[in-house]
Structure 1
Amino acid sequence: MEKRQSSDLHPGFLPPGTVVGSWCVQAWAGRGVHGSVYRVVPVGQEQASPVALKLAMLPRDPRFAREADLMARIRHPGVPRLWEQGDWQHPGGTLHPYLVMDWVEGTPLYDWVRQHPLASRQVSQVLAQLARVLQSLHAQGIVHRDVKGDNVLVRRSDGGAVITDFGSGHHPDAVTLTMQTLPPGTPAYRSPEAQMFSLRFIHDPEARYVAGPADDLYSLGVTAYRLVTGEYPEFGEPFRDEGGEWQLKAVAPRAPHVLNPRIDEQLSAVILRMLSVKPEERGSAFELAEALEQLALDPGEAYPAQVAARGAAPDPQELVESAQHLRLPARLKSLIPWFASAAVAVLVLGMWTWWMVARPPVEESSLLLSVSDSSVRDGGMAGLGDAGAATSTEAFPVSSSRHVLADDTLPAPLQGQARPDVKGRCAHSRQVALNGGCWGPLPLEGERCEGLNGQMFKGTCYVPILSSGRQPTSNPIREP
């Protein structure tokens, strides 16, 4: 394979051995909309414990300074610690900010629940840990604004839950960076009050929704609901009252224990509380953590609460193995294999390598995508999450089944996206020309696609091909 010139380096895919500041890249770990994450060690200390380095895609991206400011305020075991911030000078002369944080060896939350037969009390324990992290953030005036399952890692060492990706976070002194009605976030996890605000002020370009702690708690509720049911909560359609004001009936989604009878009814009630249409009914992170911790201490439950993927019927043998698993010593529990996830990672890594090796040396475009299907979910990262801070005009969260049926709209190109030539061809034969833009088709679904800023169209995820000659200055044109 022809060795790449230093001038061809792309911040989204640095090869091992690249030096960024005083750090040496060991491996590429994943990416989101605004940055890529690498496993790095100090230069000349190859055997040192690794840390995570998050590098900006765009030169002088101001999001990184705000994220560093926010993370410097946080001291909690459920949040990666910030070690350093700096700027990496690309051989072409541009400066790209970077952040260095704790490397977290963990499994994305939704993968974790699929890999481990769990009891409701174990789910309660993990949710309680996440609520405690939010309690700490909210006490400092910090709002995460993108809480979701794949911005959560469960540490392999002790089973502790860690919230990652603070690229969308905000605190009272933070600089406003986006001029949109709604702040960055993932549509399916947005609170009803945020969605109603966007409807009520759809014709007011100056209106700005200010997310608060209740928004984070709703997002945690969506995360919990999907964790135990495999579905998204679904509410009634909005309507206009007699005065023409948009309203939403307090129609609760189906209780989690109805969709999954192995879920404890008390846990189900706490999850529904987080999903209350009225934000004041959700309570505080402290109150939710107290309730969840009490459920986690319940000694009477020994019934597995594992969720069958996408609603499939549970295998009876799986239940037997689950019961046996629950009686294993704690040390053995930590040794449950995660080879399935690793196999997917290897497969997608092979696809990336094949793409990079086979492509001709075209300088004008580069595919910015994830190497590891198991390392990126909803924009999250293995080791350290990076925001898939997508926004959408979609009014309300929909279930996964409805989401699949609504992918017949042509994907809208990004500003700065590579365009087909006059003959309608893109720079590479594996790229697809759609709706005036060049796209890379990938075998991803739903939030996995969205986490890479991709868009679903007729069952296929299309990830934008960004032109190196024109750096994008905003998110997709379709966003509000």
Structure 2
Amino acid sequence: MSSEHDWRSTVSSLDRYENIQKIKTAIETSDPAHTSAHKEAFSKENEAYKNSSSIEEYNAICSAPSSDQQQTPASPPFHQGIGEQENQDDASSPGITIGPYHDCHHVAGGVTAEVYRAQARALKVITETRDIAPHDPFREAKILATLSQTSHVVPLLETFRDQEQRFVLVFPYMPLTLESLLARRDPVTRAQTRRIFGGLFSALKHLHTQGIIHRDVKPSAVLLESPDGPAYLSDFGTAWHPELSVVTEPSDGKILDIGTGPYRAPEVLFGDKSYGPPRRHSRAVHEDGNQLGLILSIFQTMGSPTRESWPEAAHFRTPPFEMYRAFDVREWPEILPDVEPPFRDLVAALVKYNSSRATASDVSFAYPT
């Protein structure tokens, strides 16, 4: 049995995320009318992680039926972004003091940090520093310092140690994320799309020219000042930097077990540890069944790759040939029949197996900021 001392080091951030989703599904299955399943799931997983004496006990709690969920204290849902849905924080309740900031209200919590709002500021308070690699808040601060003049990257205003000696990063507070904007289900106009993605591509273009890989681009990491933008890229806690990261992660030996499940590039699913700035990340395909599900979804959508269509993959740790069922290649008008041709062509240029995939620099002209 794993000891209390070492078992947490075997649980990755993605494992924890997947356990939260498992608990959430169990809650929603037992009570379809439940309105705070994510809050309770996060709370139960967090308590299990903190209090379990072994990985077996932790997994048993995360897999237990949800009949006792109502006794679990609720915690706010976690989004990686500094911005949250409007009125997420309860400004009517007494706030707390964090360092020099008073009247701070909790808006989100996660595996390594809690986010508070102090009027026009968002405070990211680092609550967990043990065994959180590749999460590194200190590297995050250093990377953001190098990007201080970069438009469309959320600016880091300051850092400090609070009264409990916790490391705190301070950002402008943003009321929305792209995720919360899409959750409204209001139509997103062409003008909104151009402005939001123009900001995102502008930020990525600058990062990639510096050799920086964000590694967790997703809707909740895109912060918005308003529904019309402007947009800012946030969450650099797992970013790779060619100078600051190279000692622990050489350029040809980058970590694969990183980031958020659905936002993974196929080359990393097959163990390409040399992935570069235009690409994203994943964990190796053999590590769990969820990777096979994602691979199947990609192959069903785009068709299976071949040695001719994806020659680089022949050198990956797990080449995507022969061992998988073959699916026919589909054309993009069939995949996205209701999308306007210019936008569909842009998606087609970005979603490819091989190295001809468009970069942020290639497509930034289509979304001027």
TM-score range, shorter chain: 0.5 to 0.7
Shift of 1:63: 1.2
Q: Matched residue of 2:162: which SS?
A: strand
Is the CA contact 2:208–2:278 (under 8 Å) kept in the aligned structure 1?
A: no
Aligned length: 246
Equivalent residue, structure 2, for 1:286: 361
Equivalent residue, structure 2, for 1:18: 96
Question: More strand by proportion, 1 or 2?
Answer: 1
Shift of 1:110: 5.8
Q: Matched residue of 1:282: which SS?
A: coil
User: Residues 246-266 of structure 1, C-alpha deviation per residue, up to 9 Å, x if partnerless?
Assistant: 2358976663x5455442112
Is the CA contact 2:140–2:236 (under 8 Å) kept in the aligned structure 1?
A: yes
Shift of 1:32: 2.5
User: Residues 430-454 of structure 1, C-alpha deviation per residue, up to 9 Å, x if partnerless?
Assistant: xxxxxxxxxxxxxxxxxxxxxxxxx
Structure 2 Cα separation of the partners of residues 109 and 242 of structure 1: 36
Is 1:142 matched with 2:212?
yes
Equivalent residue, structure 2, for 1:169: 239
Q: Matched residue of 2:298: which SS?
A: coil
Equivalent residue, structure 2, for 1:73: 146
Equivalent runs, 1:143-222 vs 2, <5 Å: 143-156=213-226, 158-175=228-245, 181-197=255-271, 209-216=273-280
Is 1:123 matched with 2:193?
yes
Is the CA contact 2:195–2:231 (under 8 Å) kept in the aligned structure 1?
A: no
User: Residues 191-234 of structure 1, C-alpha deviation per residue, up to 9 Å, x if partnerless?
Assistant: 11111116xxxxxxxxxx2442121599xxxxxxxxxxxxx962
Is 1:269 matched with 2:345?
yes
Alpha-carbon distance change, 107 to 182 in structure 1, aligned in 2, over 3 angstroms: closer
Structure 2 Cα separation of the partners of residues 242 and 164 of structure 1: 34
Is the CA contact 2:97–2:104 (under 8 Å) kept in the aligned structure 1?
A: no
Shift of 1:120: 4.5
Q: Matched residue of 2:243: which SS?
A: coil
Equivalent residue, structure 2, for 1:36: 114
Equivalent runs, 1:434-473 vs 2, <5 Å: none
Q: Matched residue of 1:58: which SS?
A: coil
Q: Which runs of 5+ in 2 are unaligned?
A: 1-74, 77-88, 283-295, 308-312
Is the CA contact 2:271–2:318 (under 8 Å) kept in the aligned structure 1?
A: no
User: Residues 319-362 of structure 1, C-alpha deviation per residue, up to 9 Å, x if partnerless?
Assistant: xxxxxxxxxxxxxxxxxxxxxxxxxxxxxxxxxxxxxxxxxxxx
Shift of 1:135: 0.6
Shift of 1:113: 6.9
Q: Which runs of 5+ in 1 are unaligned?
A: 1-11, 41-48, 199-208, 219-231, 297-480
Equivalent runs, 1:43-442 vs 2, <5 Å: 49-59=119-129, 63-74=136-147, 75-90=149-164, 95-109=165-179, 111-112=181-182, 114-120=184-190, 122-156=192-226, 158-175=228-245, 181-197=255-271, 209-216=273-280, 234-235=298-299, 236=303, 246-247=319-320, 255=332, 258=334, 261-278=337-354, 280-293=355-368
Amino acid at match of 2:346: V
Q: Matched residue of 2:224: which SS?
A: strand
Alpha-carbon distance change, 168 to 254 in structure 1, aligned in 2, over 3 angstroms: farther
Structure 2 Cα separation of the partners of residues 210 and 127 of structure 1: 27
Q: Matched residue of 1:36: which SS?
A: strand
Equivalent residue, structure 2, for 1:9: none
State the structure with more CA Rg.
1
User: Residues 281-328 of structure 1, C-alpha deviation per residue, up to 9 Å, x if partnerless?
Assistant: 1232111111344xx9xxxxxxxxxxxxxxxxxxxxxxxxxxxxxxxx
Q: Matched residue of 1:289: which SS?
A: helix
Q: Matched residue of 2:211: which SS?
A: coil
**% identity of equivalent residues:** 26
Alpha-carbon distance change, 157 to 35 in structure 1, aligned in 2, over 3 angstroms: same
Normalising by structure 2, report the TM-score.
0.56
Amino acid at match of 1:67: E
Alpha-carbon distance change, 195 to 16 in structure 1, aligned in 2, over 3 angstroms: farther
For the aligned residue pairs, the C-alpha RMSD in angstroms reads: 3.9
Amino acid at match of 2:160: G
Alpha-carbon distance change, 16 to 34 in structure 1, aligned in 2, over 3 angstroms: farther
Shift of 1:145: 0.6
Amino acid at match of 1:247: P
Alpha-carbon distance change, 234 to 145 in structure 1, aligned in 2, over 3 angstroms: same
Alpha-carbon distance change, 58 to 177 in structure 1, aligned in 2, over 3 angstroms: farther
Shift of 1:81: 1.0
Shift of 1:122: 4.0
Q: Matched residue of 1:246: which SS?
A: coil
Amino acid at match of 2:365: E
Normalising by structure 1, report the TM-score.
0.44
Alpha-carbon distance change, 59 to 145 in structure 1, aligned in 2, over 3 angstroms: closer
Is the CA contact 1:25–1:38 (under 8 Å) kept in the aligned structure 2?
A: no
Shift of 1:167: 0.9
Shift of 1:173: 1.6
Is the CA contact 2:350–2:359 (under 8 Å) kept in the aligned structure 1?
A: no
Amino acid at match of 1:85: T
Amino acid at match of 1:73: T
Alpha-carbon distance change, 276 to 97 in structure 1, aligned in 2, over 3 angstroms: same
Alpha-carbon distance change, 189 to 32 in structure 1, aligned in 2, over 3 angstroms: same
User: Residues 132-156 of structure 1, C-alpha deviation per residue, up to 9 Å, x if partnerless?
Assistant: 1101111222211101112112321
